[in-house]
Amino acid sequence: MSHSNLPVDADTKLLSHVRIAAPCHVDWDSMTGDENKRFFRMAAECS
């Protein structure tokens, strides 16, 4: 489901309801990607 056509304030409202049940302990800077997204090959370690 894409929300790309929603106004920015609607996106912000949606994000305010997001909860990370089990955040990954791996450092953001050690992951492959940029400032917007990262990929961690060993994601199973975060479970």
> Cα–Cα–Cα angle for 26, 39, 41, nearest 5°?
75
Looking from the CA of 1 toward its CB, the CA atoms found within 13 Å total 4
Q: How confident is the model at residue 47 (pLDDT cuts 50, 70, 90)?
A: low
Taking the alpha carbons of 32, 23, 25, 10 in that order, is the dihedral positive or negative? positive
* pLDDT at 41 (0 to 100): 75
* DSSP E strand stretches across the chain: 32-33, 38-39
Q: Mean pLDDT for the chain?
A: 77
pLDDT tens per residue, range 1-21:
455 566 667 777 888 888 888
